[in-house]
Each structure stands twice: as structure tokens, then as C-alpha cells.
């Protein structure tokens, strides 16, 4: 770069940074799901003119009426956001008005468990005709190290924009924890890595105007990998504790009592809890983004693969416990009435993505069980990519409970009345360690 160009770059970045600091900038959030919607609400609340873009026209219509479609974002929040210069739309041409574009679209796996970047690439292709000099683009979707600089940057530069000179590119991973009452978008520190130092400065200014703490890192790759480390750390430790559960069970030891005891150590121990298998959009999926990329470098991510293997085996292990518990009561699974408590992937949320409940129900259906479920957060069993059940949530009356041959506690929502369930059920298979005291009708799984 000659002196003239350096000055131009500095001036371009400085103008953008000033607009972020003064909150006179316009921010477009693309993908209004569990991550994008709360983020768009936060930018609007912080004082930015905010555009929410989504290809789902029903979602756009709901937001335009001030209505929510996520249990984790209230209609009051959406209505207040709408009153604060927020517009939801499916029209990508609005992207040209934005100073910052923040991409929050899904990053699933293909059937071969490889990264599926079709939503990220598709979103960028739709945005490209509307990009212009002076904008910042931030990718928030969880992905492997290298995505921002290897997949996004070349496509942006092919349009004639120069990243770090007249266009700014960052990766800033989302750390949303739906249903967590203690942390929200504003209070969760935000990591940000730029393609160039000028990109990073613009990214830090954008997020610094909307969240309490920004954590700048030296590259987009560091930012991408830090998010993966957070989720891999959880996946591997949950895999470890699930393996410990299987061993403890064979030895006649209650793993939950073991964890409670170990957790009294005031240093050097972090409790993780076993369960029926991993669920949600992140923990079962993200680790394999890194495992895939590591292969490009001739490396096997052995902890990731092993944890995946242990965690994926959990639904089958739980079903074997159900089969044994029914057998001990002289009942075959075929023809038994089995009610699943909680089908969301974790407690107190309505999200069923990758929920182990579906895998458990499928295995039980294959064995001929007569299935029903109860989940106050999921009134109808939703259409899932790999599972179909034409079922609606059942009310947990004493009569409904008594009729069941087995109750399987998969997701321990706070809304359940556990005493009433125990009092009226013949057999409970508890995958969450919710029933602490020994009971004749409770089997831990």
C-alpha cells in the first residue's frame, strides 16, 4: 500500500468506527433465529437503526406484527424493538443501507458428518450484489478455523472490494445460552477477530457499542477456534461423565451421588452431568467442524471422535435400561405404554433440535412400544429432519400417569411436578438423576 492508500484506509475505517461509536450506523442482522433475533433486539436497544433479514417470510411477518416465535424472546421485547427503529424483511436489497452486516445462519453437518456451509455461502451470495465500500461484515455462525478468510473473503474480493481497505471483515462467535436467566447478549463477553487490524478495529467498535465487554483476538482463525474449544470442552467432558455413568451403573454405584461428592472439592474440579445423549444445535455438531478441518492437516481429533462415539451411544443405552426394567416387571416393550417426559434438548426450553428424546422414541417405536410424551414447552411433536411422530403433548394427570407401564424422564423441565409423577407412576426410568432418594419405582439410567 502506498502512503495515499494507507491514509484512505485509515479514513474509511475511522468514519465507520465513528458511526458505530455514535450509534448513527445502521446494522443488518441476517438470520433471525435463536442467535440472530436476540442480537438484533440488542442492537436496536443500544440505539442503532436495525434491519433484520430472514428468508423465512412467516418469521418476518410475525416480527412485523410485534410477535415472537421463540420462547426465549418475549413478545414485549419484539414489540419494544419494533418501536425502536427496527424493521424485519426478506428483501436483501436493504443490505445496501447497512453499515454493518451480521450473519447468524445455521451451520449444520451433512449426512457424512462434514461441515455444511450451504447457509453461510448462500447468505453471502445473496448479500454480494448489495455490498458496497465502507461496510463491515461479521460472521457469527459457529464454524471451522479458516472459514472467514478462506470462504468469505475471496468471494467478497472477487466483487472488487478490498478487505481491510474499503471493506471490513470479522468473525465474532455467538455465545447465546437460550433460557439462561443470568447472562444475555449484553453481558456475555464477545470475542472478535479481524481479517486485518483495520477490520478488527471496526469490529471492536461495532460490538463495543452494544455489549459490555469485547475480547479482541489476533485473527479470525483464533476467534473461530475459540468458539469450537468452548463447545468441544463441553462435548468431551460430557462424554467422559457418560462413560463414568456406564461404569458406575455396572458397579451398582449412583453416578449422581459421586458427582455431588466430587463437586465439594473447592478447586480443580468442574462438575459435568451425564444424560440421555447430546442435543441442541451446538454441542453434538460443532466439534466435528474441527475434526473435519484437522484431517486437512493430517491429524485425527481423537478426543472429539471418542466423545462423539460415547455420547451417540447414550440413547441406545437408555433404551436397554428401559427394556431391562420392563422385563424385571414381566413386561415386553411391545405393547407397553411408555410416556416420555420432556422432548426438548435441555430443560426449560422449547428447542428440540438434535434432541436425544427423538432417538430414544424411535428405538422404542421400533420395538413396538405405544408411545406418548409430555412437554409443557413443546405442545406438538415438531417436524424434524430425521424423525416423525404424529403426537401432541399429554397432560400429566394422575389418571394418565397410572395408565403408563413406564415413564422415561428425558428432559427435567422445572415445570414438572416430580412428587406427583413419582406418586402415580408404576415405573420411572430417570436419565437425569432428578430422583435423588432411592424409590422402588425409579430406575436410574
Ligand X SMILES: NC(=O)c1ccc[n+]([C@@H]2O[C@H](COP(=O)([O-])OP(=O)(O)OC[C@H]3O[C@@H](n4cnc5c(N)ncnc54)[C@H](O)[C@@H]3O)[C@@H](O)[C@H]2O)c1
Q: Is 434 in the site for ligand X (CB under 6 A)?
A: no
Percentage helix, strand, coil for the chain under 3-state DSSP, each rounded to 5: 40, 15, 45
Rounded to the nearest whole angstrom, what is the least distance from the CB of residue 282 to ligand X in the complex? 5
**Of the residues 176, 354, 375, 405, which one makes contact with ligand X according to CB under 6 A:** 176
Q: Which region, judged by CB under 6 A, interacts with ligand X, from 3-11, 122-130, 185-193, 211-219?
A: 122-130
Answer whether 13's CB lies under 8 Å from 168's CB. Answer: yes
Nearest alpha-carbon partner for 360 in 412, 313, 393: 313
Q: CB atoms < 10 A from the CB of 242, how many? A: 23
Q: Is 142 in the site for ligand X (CB under 6 A)?
A: yes
Closest to ligand X by CB, 47 or 184: 184
Total interface residues for ligand X by CB under 6 A: 28
Binding-site string for ligand X from residue 200 to residue 239, where x marks contact by CB under 6 A and - marks none: ----------------------------------------
Residues 6 or more apart from 173 whose CB is under 8 A from it?
140, 142, 191, 223, 224, 226, 227
Interface positions, 280-319, toward ligand X (CB under 6 A): 281-282
Q: Which residues are 86's β-sheet partners?
A: 50
Binding-site string for ligand X from residue 254 to residue 283, where x marks contact by CB under 6 A and - marks none: ---------------------------xx-
Q: Which region, judged by CB under 6 A, interacts with ligand X, from 47-55, 184-192, 315-323, 416-424?
A: 47-55
Helix (H) or strand (E) holding 324: helix 314-328
Look at the block and give the residue holding cell 444424560. 275
Closest to ligand X by CB, 90 or 391: 90
Active site residues: 282
Residue whose beta carbon is closest to ligand X: 33
Rounded to the nearest whole angstrom, what is the least distance from the CB of residue 118 to ligand X in the complex? 9
Distance CA 257, CA 237 (A): 18
Rounded to the nearest whole angstrom, what is the least distance from the CB of residue 304 to ligand X in the complex? 16
Closest to ligand X by CB, 172 or 196: 172
* Coil vs helix vs strand at 213: coil
- The two beta strands, 26-30 and 100-103, are parallel
Rounded to the nearest whole angstrom, what is the least distance from the CB of residue 183 to ligand X in the complex? 12
* Coil vs helix vs strand at 110: coil
Q: Is 55 in the site for ligand X (CB under 6 A)?
A: yes
**Where in 270-416 does DSSP place strands (E)?**
337-341, 370-374, 406-409
Residues 6 or more apart from 114 whose CB is under 8 A from it?
288, 292
Closest to ligand X by CB, 47 or 179: 179
Nearest alpha-carbon partner for 138 in 173, 95, 91, 93: 173
Q: Is 32 in the site for ligand X (CB under 6 A)?
A: yes
Q: Which residues lie near ligand X (CB under 6 A)?
A: 30-36, 53-56, 59, 104-107, 119, 122-123, 126, 141-142, 174-176, 178, 281-282
Amino acid at each position: 500500500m502506498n502512503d495515499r492508500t494507507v491514509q484512505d484506509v485509515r479514513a474509511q475505517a475511522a468514519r465507520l468506527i465513528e458511526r458505530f461509536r455514535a450509534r448513527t450506523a445502521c446494522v443488518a442482522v441476517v438470520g433471525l433465529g435463536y442467535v440472530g433475533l436476540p442480537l438484533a433486539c440488542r442492537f436496536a436497544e443500544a440505539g442503532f437503526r436495525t434491519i433484520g433479514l430472514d428468508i423465512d417470510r412467516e418469521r418476518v411477518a410475525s416480527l412485523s406484527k410485534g410477535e415472537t416465535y421463540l420462547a426465549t424472546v418475549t413478545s414485549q421485547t419484539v414489540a419494544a424493538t419494533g418501536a425502536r427503529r427496527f424493521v424485519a424483511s426478506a428483501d436483501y436489497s436493504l443490505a445496501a443501507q447497512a453499515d454493518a452486516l451480521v450473519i447468524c445462519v445455521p451451520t449444520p453437518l451433512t449426512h457424512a458428518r462434514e461441515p455444511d456451509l450451504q447457509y453461510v455461502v448462500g447468505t453471502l451470495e445473496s448479500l454480494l450484489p448489495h455490498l458496497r465500500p465502507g461496510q463491515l461484515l461479521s460472521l457469527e455462525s459457529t464454524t471451522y478455523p479458516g472459514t472467514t478468510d478462506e470462504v468469505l473473503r475471496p468471494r467478497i474480493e472477487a466483487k472488487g472490494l478490498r478487505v481491510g481497505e474499503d471493506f471490513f471483515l470479522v468473525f465474532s462467535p455467538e455465545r447465546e445460552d437460550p433460557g439462561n436467566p443470568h447472562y444475555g447478549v449484553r453481558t456475555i463477553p464477545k470475542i472478535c477477530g479481524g481479517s486485518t487490524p483495520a477490520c478488527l478495529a471496526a469490529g471492536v467498535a461495532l460490538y463495543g457499542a452494544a455489549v459490555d465487554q469485547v475480547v479482541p483476538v489476533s485473527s479470525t482463525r483464533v476467534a473461530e477456534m475459540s468458539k469450537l474449544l468452548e463447545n468441544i470442552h463441553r462435548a468431551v467432558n460430557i462424554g467422559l461423565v457418560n462413560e463414568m455413568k456406564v461404569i458406575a451403573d455396572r458397579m451398582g454405584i449412583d453416578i449422581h451421588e459421586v458427582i455431588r461428592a466430587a463437586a465439594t472439592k473447592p478447586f480443580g474440579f468442574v462438575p459435568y452431568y451425564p444424560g440421555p445423549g447430546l442435543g441442541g444445535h451446538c454441542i453434538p455438531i460443532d466439534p466435528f467442524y474441527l475434526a473435519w478441518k484437522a484431517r486437512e492437516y493430517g491429524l485425527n481429533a481423537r478426543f472429539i471422535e471418542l466423545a462423539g462415539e460415547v455420547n451417540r451411544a447414550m440413547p441406545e443405552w437408555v433404551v436397554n435400561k428401559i427394556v431391562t426394567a420392563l422385563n424385571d416387571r414381566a413386561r415386553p416393550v411391545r405393547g407397553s405404554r411408555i410416556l416420555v417426559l420432556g422432548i426438548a434438548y435441555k430443560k426449560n426450553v422449547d428447542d428440540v433440535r438434535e434432541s436425544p428424546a427423538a432417538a430414544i422414541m424411535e428405538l422404542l417405536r421400533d420395538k413396538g412400544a405405544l408411545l406418548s410424551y409430555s412437554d409443557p414447552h413443546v405442545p406438538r411433536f415438531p417436524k424434524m429432519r430425521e424423525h416423525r411422530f404424529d403426537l401432541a403433548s399429554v397432560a400429566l394427570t394422575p389418571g394418565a400417569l397410572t395408565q403408563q407401564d413406564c415413564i422415561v424422564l428425558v428432559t427435567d423441565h422445572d415445570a414438572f411436578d416430580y412428587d406427583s409423577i413419582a406418586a402415580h407412576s408404576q415405573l420411572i426410568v430417570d436419565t437425569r438423576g432428578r430422583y435423588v432418594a432411592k424409590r422402588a419405582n425409579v430406575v436410574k439410567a
